[in-house]
């Protein structure tokens, strides 16, 4: 049985913990969280012994960074990788993933997600509940495809980009690095790096 530390005991961390508990051959070792009010308590029956400095004291086989902030998740991923930690990928058993999909280290593929043939999910990325990643998508590292979002075929999502809840990206469209496509929006053309785009069709906010 692999014991996995979950970094972050908030709402997203608890969703990741639930997925981890439903996987075969894995179990949560502990949460770690910088919120001192949680230290010494249990969340979902899982101990929270301390913050990130407690990691070295916990017997574990891997870590998953269950934090929604893409930039913060990237910084922690880099630090843990350099320290030699194994960044574990959590895949909920209800997710549907084509056999030839490539998935990097430290990803979170949550309940009901669909990832179709030829897609690549790079490291430390969240593919959230009931989202659809269509064929031959390229999802950059440290990105977040939020619950209920739909990506058409041959879509590119840049590093640290976010596709909001219920958003749609039409085929062969690119969402640039660190860009945000707002919840419920529809991207019918490329969204530039670091831009925020909202609406149907999505327009870049100035």
55-85 pLDDT tens trace: 999 999 999 999 999 999 999 999 999 999 9
Residue whose C-alpha is closest to residue 37's, from 10, 65, 72, 64: 10
Domain that residue 191 falls in: 89-197
159 part of a folded domain: yes
Q: Which two tokens stand for residue 44?
A: 């979902």
Among 88, 113, 147, the domain-final residue is 88
Q: What pLDDT does 169 receive?
A: 98
Q: What pLDDT does 46 receive?
A: 98
Same domain, 8 and 61: yes
Rounded percentage of the chain residues whose pLDDT exceeds 90: 99
Instruction: Give me the chain's average pLDDT, please.
Output: 97
Among 45, 73, 88, the domain-final residue is 88
Residues with a catalytic annotation lie at 135
Hey, is 140 helix, strand or coil?
coil
205 part of a folded domain: no
Q: What pLDDT does 106 receive?
A: 98
The pTM assigned to this predicted structure is 0.96
**pLDDT tier for residue 116 given thresholds of 50, 70 and 90:** very high
CA distances from 133 to 30, 52, 113, 138, 197 (A): 30, 32, 8, 9, 20
Question: Phi/psi at 107 (nearest 5 deg)?
Answer: -85, 160
203 part of a folded domain: no
Among 88, 120, 152, the domain-final residue is 88
Same domain, 57 and 93: no
155 part of a folded domain: yes
Q: Is the pLDDT of residue 206 over 90?
A: no
Same domain, 181 and 118: yes
Same domain, 74 and 98: no
Q: What pLDDT does 178 receive?
A: 98
How far apart (Å, rounded) are the C-alpha atoms in residues 36 and 52? 11
Largest Cα–Cα distance in the chain? 51
Number of domains making up the chain: 2
Same domain, 127 and 187: yes
């Amino acid at each position: 049985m692999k014991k996995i530390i979950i970094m972050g005991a908030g709402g997203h961390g608890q969703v990741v913990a639930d997925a981890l508990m439903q996987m075969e051959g894995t179990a949560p070792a502990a949460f770690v969280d910088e919120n001192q009010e949680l230290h010494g308590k249990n969340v979902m029956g899982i101990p929270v012994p301390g913050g990130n400095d407690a990691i070295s004291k916990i017997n574990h086989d891997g870590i998953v960074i269950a934090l929604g902030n893409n930039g913060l998740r990237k910084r922690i991923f880099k630090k843990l990788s350099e320290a030699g930690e194994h960044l574990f990928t959590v895949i909920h058993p209800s997710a549907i993933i084509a056999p030839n999909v490539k998935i990097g280290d430290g990803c979170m593929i949550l309940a009901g997600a669909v990832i179709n043939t030829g897609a690549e999910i790079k490291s430390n990325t969240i593919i959230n509940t009931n989202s659809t990643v269509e064929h031959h998508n390229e999802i950059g590292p440290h990105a977040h495809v939020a619950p209920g979002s739909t990506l058409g075929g041959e879509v590119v999502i840049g590093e640290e980009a976010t596709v909001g809840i219920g958003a749609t990206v039409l085929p062969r469209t690119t969402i640039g690095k660190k860009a945000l496509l707002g919840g419920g929006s529809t991207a019918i053309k490329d969204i530039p790096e670091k831009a925020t785009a909202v609406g149907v069709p999505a327009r870049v906010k100035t």
